[in-house]
Amino acid sequence: MRLKNPLNGFKYAAEGVVHVFRTQRHMKFHFLIMALVLLLSLVWNLQRWEVLILLFSISLVLVAEMLNTAVEAMVDLVTQSYHPLAKFAKDIAAGAVLIAAVNALAVGFLLFFGDNRWEELPEFISPHRPHWTMMFLVGVILLMIYILIWKVAGGKGKLWKGGVVSGHTALGFFFAMTIVFLKPSIPVAGLAVLMAFLIAQSRVEGKIHTVKEVVFGAILAICVTTAVYWLAPFGN
């Protein structure tokens, strides 16, 4: 009997996210708003606990949207004709998305504009810098969002393999550029960049990606890391 690969569950889950993103217009909007809000969290210098609340609120909207899509698919599978119960099921699922979205808006408003933060924004930006772990987390999430958008828009390959941009190369260069921005010794930074190039080379030699696709991945990672660490540079 052939044993199942335990990683298949993660692969199928990722394919579900890609399917919802590809087919649901609202999901695209949610991901774009998520990217914008995470960048603003660095500009506003939100505290770590505030970013966690923000991430939880955004994730709640994404989960509600996915469950809404699953309910719609199940109802359409059962019946294609009008039925009051089918309508109620879809309306209730859509209502869950609405509640989650209103909650996220309220949380965002309180975090970004509460306690006169809008008036004191220059003061928040200047002397306080987020910890590098928070910037790293924001950067990883942003990178994954952009990889997902690019792969779905290109309509080629899957999230974990193939596509118009190399996700593995992007992650490799993101980690390498993070080490560079942390200002370690030059040999360590050089080794990190070299490892990123080796990852890119392996994707080309494995005929999983073309040279252009790994270059796109590297450029994407460099742009994301530069934006994240430039918006909130280290030190005072």
The model's pLDDT over 36-85, given as tens digits with 9 standing for 90+, comes to: 888 888 877 788 888 889 999 999 999 999 999 999 888 888 877 777 88
Q: Closest Cα partner for 31 from 117, 148, 109?
A: 148
**Same domain membership, residue 90 and residue 43:** yes
pTM for the complete prediction? 0.75
Given this model, what pLDDT does residue 126 score?
45
Note whether residue 44 is domain-resident: yes
Residue 88 lies in a domain: yes
Say yes or no: 170 and 154 in one domain: yes
pLDDT at 183 over 80: no
Q: Report the alpha-carbon distance of residue 19 to residue 23 in Å, rounded.
A: 6
221: nearest Cα among 186, 187, 193, 182: 193
CATH number at residue 100: 1.10.287.3610
The verdict on 80 and 178 lying in the same domain is no
For residue 174, pLDDT over 90 is answered with yes
Last residue of a domain, one of 81, 97, 127: 127
**Where a domain ends, among 127, 158, 180?**
127
Confidence of residue 121 (pLDDT cuts 50, 70, 90): low
Q: Do 120 and 150 belong together in one domain? A: no
Residue range 172-193: average pLDDT?
A: 86
**Residue 5 lies inside a defined structural domain of this protein:** no
SS3 content of the chain, % helix, strand, coil (to 5): 80, 0, 20
Domain that holds residue 57: 13-127
Total domains in the chain come to 2
Q: Is residue 166 part of a domain?
A: yes
Close Cβ partners of 67 (under 8 Å, ≥ 6 residues apart): 93, 96
**Of the residues 73, 102, 127, the one at which a domain ends:** 127
Residue 95 lies in a domain: yes
pLDDT band at 28 (very low <50, low <70, confident <90, very high): confident
Instruction: Identify whether residues 87 and 116 lie together within a single domain.
Output: yes
Asked if residue 79 belongs to a domain, the reply is yes
- Above 50 in pLDDT, residue 142? yes
Confidence class for position 195, pLDDT limits 50, 70, 90: very high
201: in domain: yes
Q: Which residues are designated catalytic?
A: 65
